[in-house]
Amino acid sequence: MYDDNKVKLVRKAITATIGFICLIVGIACGMWIGSSNSPRQQMISTVEEARNTDESKTLTAKKIKEFLLAYYTKKDVGENQERYKEFMTEQLYAQQVKLDESPVTQAYKGYILNQVYDKATIYIDEENLSALVEVAYSNIQTTKRNNAEAGVKLSEKATIKLFYTKDKEKYLVNRIEPILLKNATNNENHTSTKTPEAKPEKTEQTTKVETTQQPPTTTTETTEVGTVKIRGTL
């Protein structure tokens, strides 16, 4: 009986010792893993902070797309004013609101609905804080006011140039200029069609001169004999 109790005590002591050793080993491994990961986490956080700092100091395509999304997406004329306000200078925002409320723009209210920004190709000029943008968007155009179901969905494109100004750490759109690329193409085509027309006109004039000079050879002649005129045909 005494031996059995002694054996049980020894077993309990061995079990407790093994458990204590495992606990110490586990704590040590956890501390080692944590210490090895912390420099990596610090490095990742440092890289992210540096990236965010660089983006805040430069004009990026991401910032321009955020503006385009707010500017071109609207349910109706002027509905998006509060959304694009934060991307503009106060002066440009006032001009845009005035344009939205002008009689010409208001004439389209209710007839161009559910406009959505689709995509854009952006060329950034960091030195001059400007960007040339080719925008694709779609909307529903209807002949029945405020009735989108009776309208037709159309895809459209526009080319604009955005001029930015830096206000503290934020880039704001200061000016928007439309770029009319179609007009230049049409003018070139119009000029090229006019050029070959000059040659036929010269040919017609030459023909007319030749035909008008030939008839005198076939006209009647008048011969005078004394005081009597005799007419005859050659």
Mean pLDDT of 202-230: 42
> When comparing pLDDT for 119 and 211, which is higher?
119
Instruction: Mark 3-17 as b/e (b = at least 16 C-beta within 10 Å).
Output: eeeeeeeeeeeeeee
| Residue 89 near residue 118, CB atoms below 8 Å | no
Torsion region of 76: left, alpha or beta (phi above 0 gives left; psi -120 to 50 gives alpha): beta
Q: What is the pLDDT of residues 145-173, one digit of tens each?
A: 999 999 999 999 999 999 999 998 899 99
Distance of CA 53 to the CA centre of its chain: 25
Percent of the chain with pLDDT over 90: 51
What structural domains does the chain harbor?
A: 61-180 (3.10.450.50)
Instruction: Note the pTM of the prediction, 2 decimals.
Output: 0.58
**pLDDT value for 13:** 79
Q: What is the pLDDT of residues 163-206, one digit of tens each?
A: 999 998 899 999 999 998 754 445 545 554 454 444 444 444 43
CA angle, 179 then 180 then 181, to 5°: 105
Q: Would you state the structure tokens that stand for residue 60, as one six-digit string?
A: 């990026």
